[in-house]
């Protein structure tokens, strides 16, 4: 136990303070995210992640968004196991033929109003997997998409910025 406490105090808070270079973006984006989440989602934006057939690269970065350095929860963003509680679906692609039905069901299970964000080059247009008997291409070929976040895979900073862009756009929907 002493070792654990020692390690905790030694490490301190690693969550980005006001770091240099690109990382400054995290905090800048984060501040605006926090405001937008407070305003439009009653301080809590809940996301259900759906892997619709990805290579798992995008999942690595979505997981990294939750690590103590990016710590997306401080901006009011959390991930849920159930689509029933979700405000947003974060979908990685390409959508495989074998995941098409599961993706549609997850979409239907998510209450309105909802946002869908297609993540990664493959989620946008199928990427290197293209469209074939097994790959239906981008997420939009199966469910309506509100925004996309390009990248292979998009970095955690790209993801935060992408989420910010989608929740500050399209103000006509009322999520509160």
Closest CA to 27 of 157, 142, 152: 157
Task: Give the C-alpha separation, 116 to 139, whole Å.
Answer: 9
Q: Which is nearer to other proteins, 40 or 153 (CB)?
A: 153
| Continuous H helices in 12-93 | 24-41, 57-64
* Sites for other proteins among residues 73-102 (CB under 8 A): 79, 81, 83, 94, 96-99, 102
Q: Which residue has the tokens 């399209």?
A: 170
Length of the chain, please? 176
Q: Which is nearer to other proteins, 40 or 145 (CB)?
A: 145
Residue from 129, 161, 164, 167 touching other proteins (CB under 8 A): that is 129
CB of 44 to other proteins, least distance (A): 18
CB of 124 to other proteins, least distance (A): 15
* Sites for other proteins among residues 16-55 (CB under 8 A): 49-55
Buried b (16+ CB within 10 A) or exposed e, 28-57: ebbebbbebbeebbeeebbbbbbbbbbbee
Footprint of other proteins (CB under 8 A): 3-4, 7-8, 11, 14, 49-64, 66-69, 79, 81, 83, 94, 96-99, 102, 106, 127-135, 152-153, 155
């Amino acid at each position: 136990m002493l070792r654990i406490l020692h390690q905790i105090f030694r490490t301190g808070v690693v969550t980005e303070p006001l770091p240099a270079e690109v990382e400054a973006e995290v905090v800048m984006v984060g501040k605006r995210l926090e405001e937008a989440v407070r305003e439009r989602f009653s301080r809590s934006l809940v996301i259900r992640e759906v892997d619709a057939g990805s290579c798992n690269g995008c999942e690595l970065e979505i997981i990294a968004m939750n690590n103590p350095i990016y710590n997306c929860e401080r901006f009011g963003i959390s991930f849920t196991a159930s689509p029933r509680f979700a405000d947003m679906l974060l979908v990685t692609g390409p959508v495989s033929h074998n995941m098409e039905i599961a993706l549609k069901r997850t979409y239907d299970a998510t209450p309105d109003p909802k946002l869908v964000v297609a993540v990664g080059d493959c989620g946008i247009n199928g990427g290197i997997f293209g469209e074939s008997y097994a790959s239906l291409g981008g997420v939009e070929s199966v469910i309506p998409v509100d925004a996309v976040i390009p990248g292979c895979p998009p970095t955690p900073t790209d993801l935060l910025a992408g989420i910010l862009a989608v929740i500050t756009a399209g103000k006509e929907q009322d999520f509160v």
